[in-house]
Structure 1
Amino acid sequence: MKYRQINKSKCYCITMCRAANAITSFYDEGLKPAGITTKQFSLLIHLSRLGEASTVELADYVNLERSTVTRNLKALLAQGWIEDRAGAGRRNHKYSVTQKGMEKLEETDLLWEEMQKRIQDYLGQEKAKELLEGLYLLQQLQQE
């Protein structure tokens, strides 16, 4: 969704939510040629780093709600990018990335790198670095 006017707010929360929506839309649009969303890409890459994980383990690792992870894992399973290693009828699901999923990550990596570069160019290298540092710091609010 493109906005004709940016309504500025003094509220950190509202402004952060608006920025999060804008950046997610930016990345979703950039990843569209690969047929994957930003959240799906994130889960796929993190699962590839973990090797194998349950829904709870993956949700904890990426700091997302379990329901969000579950919904996106279903889409990844449907595409054949991940597999459930627990076997049919088992309750303790363990997911891992398939060869097809690894190929999707390779395909998507160039698109992701281009979007990263566009953000850095847009903000400038110093502001981009400061933004990341500030966002990392804000994530710590959940730990307090």
Structure 2
Amino acid sequence: MSNPHVIPFSTTLHVRDTCLCLHVQRAARALARRFDAALRPLGLTNGQFSLMMSLNRPQPAPMGSVATLLDMDRTTLTAALKPLQRRGLVHVVADPKDARSRLLTLTPEGMAVLAAAVPIWTATHAQVDEGLGEGGPQRLRGDLSNIR
């Protein structure tokens, strides 16, 4: 009697070789490790760099707009902000127009760390782009933005 719940190993190989989600996740983890290593001397992760960069604006950033930009829920964003707040890199205040809302800004120390991180990010990004070949980076960004 055969087991109807047995999936053939050939299916596993097919998923391994063709699953876009798997390949994007693997690439994302590899990129995250690369940028984490590059930013480690500043005590930042790639996620913290992205979060701080999203706060680099002329006016304080509403938490909702930052969460939307980073495609995070507010709870995850709040947790991500905590270590940056503890280091004195980010300031979170109640919105004077709506005390339930929060406004996020980089502190002067945060701006200094971000300014030191940008050349590291730029050099690392150039290496990644170079590895993708001519036209690869722009095409990849375009293709990924089509997935929503």
Residue 20 (structure 2) aligns with: 12
Q: What TM-score comes out, normalization by structure 1 length?
A: 0.81
Determine the structure 2 residue equivalent to 1:102.
111
The corresponding residue for 2:146 is: 137
1:38 aligned onto 2:42: no
Unaligned stretches of 5+ in structure 1?
1-6
Offset from partner CA, 1:5-48 (integer Å, 9 cap, x none) = xx952111111111111111111111111110111111111111
2:102 counterpart (68, 78, 93): 93
- 1:34 and 1:104 in contact (8 A); partners too: yes
The alignment yields a C-alpha RMSD, in angstroms, of 2.0
Aligned length: 131
**Cα distance, 1:53 vs structure 2:** 2.5
Show CA shifts across 1:38-63 (max 9, x none): 11111111111263123323101222
The reply on whether 1:71 has 2:101 as its aligned counterpart is no
Q: Normalised by the size of structure 2, how large is the TM-score?
A: 0.79
Q: SS where residue 9 of structure 1 aligns? A: helix
Q: Which shows bigger deviation, 92-101 or 51-60?
A: 51-60
Structure 2's unaligned 5+ residue stretches are 1-14
Structure showing greater radius of gyration is 2
Residue-by-residue CA offset, 1:69-98 (whole Å, 9 max, x unaligned)? 1111111101111112329xx653322111
| CA distance in 2 between partners of 1:50 and 1:115 (Å) | 26
The alignment-based identity, stated in percent, is 28
CA contact (8 A) 2:63 2:101 kept: no
Task: Give the whole-Å Cα distance in 2 for the aligned partners of 1:128 and 1:93.
Answer: 35
CA contact (8 A) 1:51 1:97 kept: no
User: Secondary structure in 2 aligned to 1:96?
Assistant: strand
1: CA distance between counterparts of 2:117 and 2:126? 14
Runs of 4 or more consecutive aligned structure 1 residues displaced over 3 Å after TM superposition: none
